Structure 1
């Protein structure tokens, strides 16, 4: 493989996928961004254009480059054409094992033998993903944080068959993006989400039980602990549907009642109150009122 990883396939054009495509393009990579519909891709294109306009204002590091030049490095498609040229794939679709398995079974025969597969997953074991392809030694987890262009550290997960060479390749990609990785072992939720999802779920229980309002919960974490964002605002940013899927995944994996999803979280997802992406979650983003 060449020293520079030139072409990266990004599967999933949601919040994480668009942030990744932007960050990769800004660091000189050619990107193939894949999702199911042109509508999703059009929205991603608009969000990336906005992200490029404001990246300097928001404090993104690295050399300034004409945003139109950067934008042209991203190809938007509903098909996997072009994946025969990729050096690296980062998958970011929803936390649904059947859907993820279908993606890996589709791209495995298309990608070059040297290509590395990275799962940007919250709770699904990397070893399980590796077992679904013919290159289990070249599969790892890369849990990027949101917003991707502004977060300097990535949680990297070694699956059972992941080799040191694969981790070295992933580290090199991150270095090219101006980021660094922290390697942990494979376990549902890994480090970040095993702690974060339990914290968020417990914060939801506090609101559910009437112990405190969402604003009061988050104010304590911001003011007393110095967190820039409280757990419930964080949940709104991630998406309450993603939170629920992650908590359910931990509950299934560990069979431990401490991961039982709060009924309020289930009800809010059923009601379509998903957080920032729906306009309302624990906070109303039009009026800043708590729910």
Structure 2
């Protein structure tokens, strides 16, 4: 309905997966089966596969983003990893990149790195609760297993995903922020009321605009531009509200004068 009411605005276009799952009756708790199974209204979470042991190979971290580089290197030190601190990765080193909005393939080729030895890790929300590792289509299995074992070495759960522009969290959160900015741009509600409606109505810990400020409007803009350029999907087109405030260094809650 929203898609129709907004004259097929791409940001609100339903996914084909959503339609097929609705037709199949996979409605979640209502039917006992969705992306998860439910018993007695409780989500049944399958056990995760145990990671392989870290094989001790050296780890080289891309310095392209100084903040993310420090995050990952600090973690590697805590995990007692062997760090390759050369200007370029040594032969046989596990290569770790930290892209925003682009996939592991694009990140490795952009920096002239070997995609067969490369994985990406998402640092957007920190590395304490869960770590998402992304492989390229040609990352050698031994390097993927090594990264999985390494980053799970302190008991923190690790999700290994296939190549995807914007990982999972970057893509979802940037979209939420962008839609909030689109509503603010339309003038349908004040920035404060948009955030209040989301926190009270949906139970989110932050409204979309405040969350955009927390993540950094510039980073959200970079993620969206990169995903848009990679996929060509107009649903990732940054709104003028987001773009202008990011470029001005202002809060996304800043109203128009």
Local SS of the residue matching 1:176: coil
Alignment of 1:109-120 (within 5 A): 110-120=88-98
Structure 1 unaligned blocks of 5 or more = 32-81, 85-106, 274-280
Residue from 276, 282, 291 that aligns with 2:252: 282
| Cross-structure match for 1:249 | 226
The yes-or-no answer on 1:136 pairing with 2:188 is: no
Where has structure 1 moved over 6 Å in runs of 4 or more?
A: none
| Partners of 2:134 and 2:163 within 8 A in 1 | yes
Local SS of the residue matching 1:282: coil
Alignment of 1:57-68 (within 5 A): none
The yes-or-no answer on 1:232 pairing with 2:202 is: no
| Partners of 1:153 and 1:180 within 8 A in 2 | yes
Change (3 A) 1:9 1:191: closer
Residue from 152, 158, 169 that aligns with 1:192: 169
The yes-or-no answer on 1:166 pairing with 2:140 is: no
The yes-or-no answer on 1:13 pairing with 2:15 is: no
Tell me how far 1:242 sits from its aligned partner.
1.4
RMSD: 3.1
| Cross-structure match for 2:188 | 211
The yes-or-no answer on 1:263 pairing with 2:232 is: no
| Cross-structure match for 1:153 | 130
After superposition, give the CA deviation of every residue in 1:11-64 in whole Å (9 maximum; x if it has no partner): 2332x4444344344444577xxxxxxxxxxxxxxxxxxxxxxxxxxxxxxxxx
Distance 2:224 2:71 in 1: 24
Residue from 235, 245, 249 that aligns with 1:272: 249
| Partners of 1:248 and 1:259 within 8 A in 2 | yes
The yes-or-no answer on 1:127 pairing with 2:105 is: yes
Tell me how far 1:188 sits from its aligned partner.
1.9
- Higher-Rg member (1/2): 2
Change (3 A) 1:159 1:204: same
Distance 1:186 1:134 in 2: 16
| Partners of 1:145 and 1:154 within 8 A in 2 | no
| Cross-structure match for 1:76 | none
Tell me how far 1:7 sits from its aligned partner.
6.4
Local SS of the residue matching 1:199: helix
Distance 1:141 1:206 in 2: 33
Tell me how far 1:162 sits from its aligned partner.
0.9
Q: How many residues align?
A: 203
